[in-house]
């Protein structure tokens, strides 16, 4: 059965609100020193497949429309929705979450928007409209904390096809290279 509880009892966590979880996580002392970055993940088709996600049974693939995690200054990924250890070395997380990344049609391959955590914490805003259906009802219950920021700009982060958005866009090989520390 899928897990829905927080992977760490002191972190702000609410299922299906990964961008808000990441916003809070960016300020956590547990992430250690060094620059932190937020990774928004999707595919050009508007979704891509993930393994190791707690929202589905073990071994099942989950097709997220987008997902959001934090990369710490030591090259570790903090994915509060993953079955992998928290944190996981970035390359290990990448290889275990997207083992089929290079075999997929281009439109389904994971792509990444890498945004400095300080910028994300300063500019992100979500009134949670993306979690309401056409009748105004919640598709998933909201977190117990107030919405973050004023208004709405989640789309500029999760649109991995828009080069004018914040941060830097990377394909899976570019992110793998970055995590290895290759010089470009």
What are the residue ranges spanned by the domains of the chain? 18-180
> How does residue 2 score in pLDDT terms, banded at 50, 70 and 90?
very low
| pLDDT one-digit tens code per residue, 141-153 | 999 999 999 999 9
Distances (CA, A) of 8 to 2, 137, 167: 16, 29, 28
**Catalytic residue (one of 26, 72, 79, 81):** 79
pLDDT of residue 92: 98
Residues 6 or more apart in contact with residue 161 via CB below 8 angstroms: 44, 111
The answer on pLDDT for 101 being more than 50 is yes
Whether CATH 3.30.200.20 fits 18-180: no
| pLDDT one-digit tens code per residue, 109-129 | 999 999 999 999 999 999 999
**Catalytic residue (one of 67, 68, 72, 81):** 67
The answer on pLDDT for 1 being more than 60 is no
pTM beyond 0.85: yes
**Catalytic residue (one of 12, 18, 68, 72):** 18
> How does residue 182 score in pLDDT terms, banded at 50, 70 and 90?
confident
Q: Is 26 one of the annotated active-site residues of the chain? A: no
Q: What span, in angstroms and rounded, lies between the C-alpha atoms of 77 and 42?
A: 16
pLDDT of residue 79: 97
Q: Is 79 one of the annotated active-site residues of the chain? A: yes
Angle at 129 between CA 124 and CA 82, to 5 degrees: 65
Strand partners, 89: 76
Q: Among the residues of 85-170, which ranges form H helices?
A: 90-97, 117-123, 154-158
Q: Is 67 one of the annotated active-site residues of the chain? A: yes
Q: What span, in angstroms and rounded, lies between the C-alpha atoms of 42 and 107?
A: 10
> How does residue 7 score in pLDDT terms, banded at 50, 70 and 90?
low
């Amino acid at each position: 059965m899928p897990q829905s509880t927080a992977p760490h009892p002191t972190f702000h966590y609410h299922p299906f609100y990964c961008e808000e979880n990441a916003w809070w996580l960016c300020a956590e002392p547990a992430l250690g020193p060094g620059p932190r970055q937020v990774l928004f993940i999707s595919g050009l088709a508007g979704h891509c497949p993930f393994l190791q996600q707690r929202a589905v049974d073990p071994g099942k693939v989950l097709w997220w429309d987008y997902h959001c995690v934090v990369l710490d200054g030591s090259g570790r990924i903090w994915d509060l929705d993953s079955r992998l250890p928290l944190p996981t070395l970035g390359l290990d997380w990448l290889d275990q979450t997207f083992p089929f990344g290079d075999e997929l049609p281009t439109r389904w391959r994971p792509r990444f928007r890498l945004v400095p955590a300080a910028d994300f914490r300063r500019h992100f805003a979500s009134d949670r409209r993306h979690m309401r259906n056409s009748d105004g009802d919640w598709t998933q219950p909201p977190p117990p904390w107030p919405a973050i920021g004023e208004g709405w700009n989640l789309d500029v982060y999760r649109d991995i096809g828009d080069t004018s958005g914040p941060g830097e866009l990377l394909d899976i090989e570019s992110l793998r290279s970055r995590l290895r520390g290759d010089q470009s």
